[in-house]
Amino acid sequence: MQKTLNLIRDFLREEDGATAIEYGLLAALISVAIIIATTGVGNALNNVFNFVSGRLNGAVPA
C-alpha cells in the first residue's frame, strides 16, 4: 500500500509534462504572431507593387 502511495505522490510531483505543454503553447502563440505580422507586411508590399506597376504601365515609352 505504501509503495502505491509513493508512486502516486511521485507522479503528481512530476512536472515534465506540464513544462512540455507550456513550451508548446508558447510556440503556438509565437507562430500566430508571426503569421499575423507577415500577412500585414505582405498586404502592404502587394499594395506598393500594384501602385508601382500601375505607374509603370501608364508611363510614356521613350
User: Residue 37 has what pLDDT?
Assistant: 94
User: Residue 16 has what pLDDT?
Assistant: 73
pLDDT tens, position by position, 11-62: 777 777 778 888 999 999 999 999 999 999 999 999 999 999 989 888 767 6
pLDDT band for position 2 (50/70/90)? confident
- CA-to-CA separations, 34 to 14, 19, 21, 22, 41, in angstroms, rounded: 32, 23, 20, 18, 11
Measured distance CA(46)–CA(25) in Å, rounded? 32
pTM of the complete model:
0.56
CA trace torsion 40, 45, 48, 53 (10° rounding): -140
User: Residue 7 has what pLDDT?
Assistant: 82
Residue spans per domain, the chain: 27-57
